[in-house]
Each structure stands twice: as structure tokens, then as C-alpha cells.
Amino acid sequence: MNDELNRNTYHYMEIKVSQIAARYLLCKEWLRKKDGIISSGEKDTEVHYATYAQRVETAYEELEDNQKRIINNDFFYQNSYPFWWETYFSKSSYYRIKKDAMKLFLRNFKDA
């Protein structure tokens, strides 16, 4: 029972971080395209996108280096090489650090 709960929690955290990363990338793209264009009265939307991006960046910056590497490669960069981490970590270390990184990232994002 406890193992299944841990797996479900881990999977839930993966989904949440993936959603945050996808929204962040969309916000950054929208802001990049919007830069230099005369406003059409969409100021409120722009502020929300910029605020969201800042929350993500703040949450990310508070991670340790190994945690940043995992969050970046697994969720933001979406590395096409699924076993990129083998160069840096053992399997158990990777999953342990990833779990801690996701937990801390989500907490930091919530608090940002």
C-alpha cells in the first residue's frame, strides 16, 4: 500500500512539474513574440504571463545544482536522450534526487 502511494505521489509530481514547464515555455514564447509589439490593450494578460514565468524561475533558482540539472533536462529541455542522467548519477541517486527536486520545485513554485 505504501509503495503504491509513493508511486502515485511520484507520478503526480511528474505530471504537475510537466504542466508547469509546458505553461512556462508557452508564457516565455508569448512574451518573446509580444516584445516590441505595440500593445493592443492586452496588458493584463502580459502581466499574468510575466508573473507566472517569474514564479517558475524563482522556484528553479532555489534548487541545488543536481536538482536543477534533473528538472531542466527532464521537464524543460525534454532531452531526446532518455538516459542522459547515466553520465551523472546512478539509477537510485537519479530517482532520489529527482523526487526531492520535484518536491522542492513544487513547494517553491507554490510559495513564489
pTM, to two decimals: 0.85
What's the pLDDT at 3? Answer: 75
- Per-residue confidence at 41, pLDDT binned at 50, 70, 90? low
Backbone angles phi, psi at 7, to 5 degrees: -65, -45
Neighbours of 72 (CB within 10 A): 16
- All three cell numbers of 14: 511528474
